[in-house]
Amino acid sequence: MSRKVQAGALFVAVVIAFTIALLTTFLILMAYHFKLQARENIILKRLALNVNSSINLLLTRETPSSGSLEELDLYGLGEDSVSIKHEYWGVYEVATAKAFSGRYALTKTVQYGYQVHDSSRVAIYLSDLSRPLSICGTTLIKGNCRLPEKGIQTTYIEGKSYNGPNELLTGKVYRSQSTLPPLNKDMLTHLNKLFDKSYMLSSAYKVLENFEADTLIQSFIDSTIVIYMGSHASISNQYFSGNIIFYADESIEVDASAVLENTILVAPAIKIKRDFKGSLQAFATDSVIVEEKCSLNYPSVIGLFKKDHQVQQPHIRIKADALVQGVLFSTQSEEVTDMLQTLITVEKDATLQGQLYADGYADIKGKVLGSVYCNKFVLKTPSSVYENHLLDAVIDYPKLSSHYIGSGLISSAKQKGIIKWLE
């Protein structure tokens, strides 16, 4: 009987010892796991600090050329390595910062622009071509202005006299030059490449043809996708977001059923159809039409390039009740010197919140909450065409948000600002 008790006790002792060993091993493994996890969290937090520090560093110093890749040791200790890649994205810039340590890495991508320089904080910059600015109707101008030596005056046209505020404009008036402040040449060179078909369809990009899927999202960490759309293209009932360029030989139409976020369109003629809502950059050599009740959200851009005499008067037209938040601009080659310069029209009840730069003419019948730069104002009515006239227009610089970040294409400021964080 006693032998049975001893055998049972031995078995119990073995079981207890085995259990204790298991528990001890489990606790050791748990402690090791938590130690590794704590170490990993420390590394990831440090990487997050480093990648944010590299973005802050980028915003405080001169930007290298587009396409460049920098590798930095942030603090000179050999422990905080980061790489920063810079690229143009339309008239803005994109930087991808990557912090790494051993097998760990953290990446962030930011779209940035430039603060508006103090000298550019004007409601109107009108080139001095020896003609005054004439206003009538309920025209309202708020903000500092750079005007021709002959200044500003009231007039009577189309059966209307001036009946706005007693002060013809609110703000200080400075003398303008005979030409507009030049656009950024490096960025213009980049933008002109967008119209080079052989370049756009080269190995520099990932090219897709006859794309028919209903959704495409491309991260800015990955290569740019160029969707070649043939001669005449229509985008409808599809969702596109991110690092995507649409390219067509003749025209692109964007239907209200399409969703575009931060994409680029390139074609001679582009039409954004009624009721469309989204954010995009559109670049053309013939025309860009934004139809009624469209809403192009910040930071949208419409750019027009006159390269030769084949198109008599390239134009941008923002129709009634449309809203554009961002930049409208036109530019023409130095070799093109004919009288039919580019034309940007903001129709009655249309609104631009941002900057308008017309290397040519501007026809403003609606609202510009921001700045207008142009060689001449032109007012087209059913009965006549008037030069340097504004009728029932609103140009109100103080209504532009103090947080507005513009493009390096227009601004000469060195101070950068984040527009948005990108996927």
Helix (H) or strand (E) holding 188: helix 185-193
Q: What is the 3-state secondary structure (H, E, C) of 289-357?
A: EECCCCEEEEEEEEEEEECCCCCCCCEEEECCCCEEEEEEEEEECCCCCCCCCEEEEECCCCEEEEEEE
- Could you count the other beta carbons within 10 Å of the beta carbon of residue 88? 20
Q: How far, in Å, CA of 253 to CA of 246, rounded?
A: 11
The model's pLDDT over 302-338, given as tens digits with 9 standing for 90+, comes to 999 998 777 888 999 999 999 999 999 999 987 766 6
Q: How far, in Å, CA of 281 to CA of 186, rounded?
A: 18
Q: What is the pLDDT of residue 13?
A: 80
Q: What is the pLDDT of residue 109?
A: 93
Q: What is the pLDDT of residue 204?
A: 85
**What 3-state DSSP class applies to 73?**
strand
Per-residue pLDDT of the chain (423 residues; tens, 9 = 90+): 445 556 677 777 888 888 888 888 888 887 777 776 776 677 778 878 888 888 888 888 777 667 677 877 777 667 678 888 889 999 999 999 988 877 788 889 999 999 988 888 999 999 999 999 999 999 999 999 999 999 999 999 988 999 988 999 999 999 999 999 999 999 999 999 999 999 999 988 999 998 889 999 999 999 999 999 999 999 999 999 999 999 999 999 999 999 999 999 999 999 999 999 999 999 999 999 999 999 999 999 999 999 877 788 899 999 999 999 999 999 998 776 666 799 999 999 999 999 999 999 999 999 999 999 999 999 998 889 999 999 999 999 999 999 999 999 987 777 899 999 997
The model's pLDDT over 10-29, given as tens digits with 9 standing for 90+, comes to 777 888 888 888 888 888 88
Q: What is the pLDDT of residue 36?
A: 66
b/e per residue 347-367 (b: at least 16 CB within 10 A): beebbbbbbbbbbbbbbbbbb
**What 3-state DSSP class applies to 77?**
coil
Beta bridge partner(s), residue 394: 140, 367
Beta-carbon-side half-sphere exposure of residue 399 (alpha carbons within 13 Å): 19
Please report, in angstroms and rounded to a whole number, the separation of the first and last CA atoms in the chain. 76
Q: What is the pLDDT of residue 7?
A: 63
Q: What is the pLDDT of residue 62?
A: 78
